[in-house]
A and B are shown apart, each in its own frame.
Chain A
Amino acid sequence: MAKISISKAALAVSAVALGVTGGAFAGVPGYVDPTPGSANFDLTVDAGYISAADGSVIYMWGLHTPDRSLMQYPAPTLIVNEGDEVSITLTNCLDGEAAAENTSLIFPGFDVTATGGVAGAATREAAPTCNAADSVTYTFTADHAGTFLYQSGTNISVQSEMGLGGALIVRPTGFLHRDEMDIPDARPTADPTVATEDPFNYVPQSGNQIAYGTGTDFDYEYLYVLTDIDPDIHEMVRIGDMAGAKSRDGKAVYWMINGRAGPDTFFANDVPWLPTQPYGSMTQMQPGQKVLVRTVSLGRDLHPFHTHGNNLRVVAVDGNLLSSVPGSGIPDLGFSDFTVSGIPGQTFDGVFEWSDLGMGWDIFDEATQHPVEWHEPSARTDGTHGGVIPVSLPGIPDLTFGGFYSGSPYLGSFGQLPPGEGGLNLNGGFFYMWHSHNEKELVNNDIFPGGMMTMLIVEPFLDGNGDQLVIPRGSIFEKTAN
């Protein structure tokens, strides 16, 4: 059986992008309105096409902001502040499409007032005229912080499938970006008497990066919008057979994170060859840091989202902190799991941490003479500092090598690889797959691998050149839409 591998050529591009732009993947790309106290967005519904990573293109209905001419999938991520008066004006430019129909937006969990347009089952709807006179404006107060979804409230069984949905992030009161991460000078010194700074003791220069309250602080945040696609429904809609689309028992053959199927998920945001799929999902952190995992499910099926590397501590569902004391900000009712169900129509937030604690051996090569402060906690007593990997690994002829393997089992180190192997791991990081654990969903139609899959990179403190490695602070790429 011929096996199809991830294209090394394609990934080389990804690696270059990663290398050139540094931590181009960190953060949640999204739109903000810098006006204090309010957030206004204009969203337009258009038809368009996306690429499914196996070469096929899929007809979609999507939303976009005025700074883009093409629809995007998923819908633009909107980032507002708690207490903002949010106003979103929807214009329906499906006119000219064979199955053109009304559409609308719902914001579950918020008390929305809709004006304009015509009455619909869930809310007021915009007719497909592409005329501002038929637009609908949805206004609400973003009265609680969290991760939310917004999506079509019209013909939901078909328009959800077609792509009309995205993420809404409400920053809590008091949230403040860090101007820059406090990355200590953790460079090892030849002189062991020279103390090095504890890399785990981050002292934010400024800022208050929290998802809800003090119990949900994070160093980096990432968004994962989980969707699935049955292309037959899209084709029926494209040719105007809405009755056929509605009667079909949907059966997805594409599975996506942030609108991209693996391995496109590895690419940076806004790569030019995916013009309607602007969001990547490659994830970066360093040992001891906290990653906020914001997950939004907008498909038709449940997806078991598995975080390799460690358990994920779920702290909120549907923007509701799992807390026994409302208002405390402390997620004491959160639960830890290695695979969390993405349930369509739900969101969940989790905090992911990774360190070498409990590994039983030193993840840093003894040869690097690294400081004990690289371990967390550095004062621990399990004696793994300086401990080598307890087994010998097979020889090169016995092995198949992954492209993200550095050649060394140690973090930040490199080893010998056969010609043509590896090469995608610039800093000697540890790569972990984050993916749907219904493995059928790791394919793009009939081609493995792909699907609902991305990677976490636990990066070392030094890059491949021995220089301090800095992942840019989280929550970059916010931009204004108008």
Chain B
Amino acid sequence: MVKNRNVKERPLESFDDAERKLRQIFVRLVEDLKASKPPVLRIPLRTASNTVFDKKRGIITLGERVGERKFNDISGVRSFMQTCMLARAIYEALKNNDHPTIRDLYYYTLHTIEGTEIETFNDQDESNSIFQDIEVMTGLLREQMGIVAESRGAMVGNIILESKGNRIDCTKFGIGAFNIPSLCDQIRILDVNADYVLVVEKDAIFQRLNDYEFWRKNHCILITGKGQADRATRRMVKRLNEEWGLPVYVLTDADPFGWYIYSTYRAGSISLSYESFRLACPEAKFLGMTMTDIEKYEIPRDHLIKANEIDIKRAKELLVKDPVTKLPRYPWFYESKKWRQEINMFLERKVKAEIEAKSSKGFRFLSDVYLPEKISNKDWIT
């Protein structure tokens, strides 16, 4: 049994803080206005060029560059209005202890401005982008503001949670699993009894492993993000790693897309770089399936898939250096000898493989042979 190594009784995040913080920014804005200063919202840039790799923490973070959104600038006035409008909506929700989705917020604020034909938002993408601006501007994450998003992560294993006063034992879902909710920090982890966390890319593999009760047999917690992981899933992985000191292993297909998913768990993504510090888990290890596994486990040639152009482009990208800064874009790939070997092997052979390809060795090969062997041999890439 692993002990909570940080804060055992971690207090749930309070929304009062968010309410105060959000309001404070606009109070200052109005004070500026009263002093006849043109109102400016300072928003850290969420662009790729303002995304940097924090070597010390091993994660992607936002750079220091900040954009100014001015009211009295014709190109900025609309987004200035949208920012104020969305902030007001969030503020109202916080005050009323509502937890709307970002789609709710979009519809809540969407209207045609009186006397014109101008709509406040053209589409939800516009609203979502402004929402992210508010997140980086206030330093408050969506979850901290109680805004719900779609979540699809699932978890199963020997772990006991508490939510709204209910104890949830994650061993008792049968062939089902615990759906990781969007506001994952509103859940208290009471107890964990596992040796590691196995993150599975594909939901189907997750279901099969759950069906075999792989987690019980191997003393682990099974999590899936169902493809590219959402924030809540990544947050849960991070919490298990950070609060309970569990090692994290990631199982994906043997292709660049799988690597990319691993990369997101490990270091964060560019689009959510501002949130990496609470989502990325630098200790996560890539368990498989690796290119070397293909040979090692003798996957038949006809079970391999020919890599398409997008795969190759993506693989090359993982080793590319930024033309301006001359730094590798994905240092955790670039600076790892093993990873370079993997990627180059892929680029050489131009084939990829799905996890299911292992079923050529029998339906239980994955759960009974491959995974236990890989873990006990420490056959992973970091």
Specify whether A and B are partners.
no
